[in-house]
């Protein structure tokens, strides 16, 4: 079971957890990525995320399928938010249910690590004195 979503409105963690509720699950790992106030000592005012949506959905689905194959996940939900986000807002939620806890942690870590590397979503950080596209330059 795989649920992939890109949303322009606030994410609901419980929706992801409910989706991964499974009678054979022994553990569910949930990762919640949030907007933090300081980046390298600089105060962030807000973030903006944009995505190349059809490809981002495809790439997120690929990640979920790889996790399913590698860790026999029973259900996995990956929801990513786009648009303008404020400090403390949730940018991404990943919920993974597996028969045993170790696989849930590993699959969840794999999903967020790979998402950050391959999914075409971009984050712009706004400071009091300007803005930068995150991780664009070495």
Of the residues 15, 30, 105, 118, which one makes contact with another protein according to CB under 8 A:
118
Of the residues 41, 88, 130, 138, which one makes contact with another protein according to CB under 8 A:
138
Nearer to another protein, 55 or 84 (CB): 55
Query: What token pair was written down for 40?
Result: 């390298």
Shortest reach from residue 62's CB to another protein, in Å: 10
Burial status of residue 15 (CB atoms within 10 A of its CB: 0-12, 13-18, 19 or more): middle
- Is 121 one of the binding residues for another protein (CB under 8 A)? yes
Shortest reach from residue 49's CB to another protein, in Å: 7
Positions touching another protein (CB under 8 A) are 33, 49-52, 54-56, 58, 80, 91-92, 112, 115-124, 133-138
């Amino acid at each position: 079971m795989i649920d992939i979503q890109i949303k322009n409105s606030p994410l609901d963690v419980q929706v992801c957890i409910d989706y991964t509720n499974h009678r054979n699950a022994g553990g569910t790992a949930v990762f919640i990525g949030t907007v933090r106030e300081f980046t390298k000592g600089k105060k962030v005012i807000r973030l903006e995320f944009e995505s190349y949506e059809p490809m981002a959905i495809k790439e997120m689905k690929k990640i979920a399928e790889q996790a399913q194959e590698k860790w026999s996940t029973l259900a996995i939900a990956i929801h990513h938010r786009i648009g303008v986000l404020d400090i403390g807002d949730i940018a991404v939620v990943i919920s993974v249910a597996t028969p045993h806890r170790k696989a849930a942690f590993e699959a969840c870590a794999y999903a967020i690590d790979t998402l950050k590397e391959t999914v075409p979503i971009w984050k712009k950080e706004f400071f009091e004195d300007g803005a930068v596209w995150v991780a664009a330059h070495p």
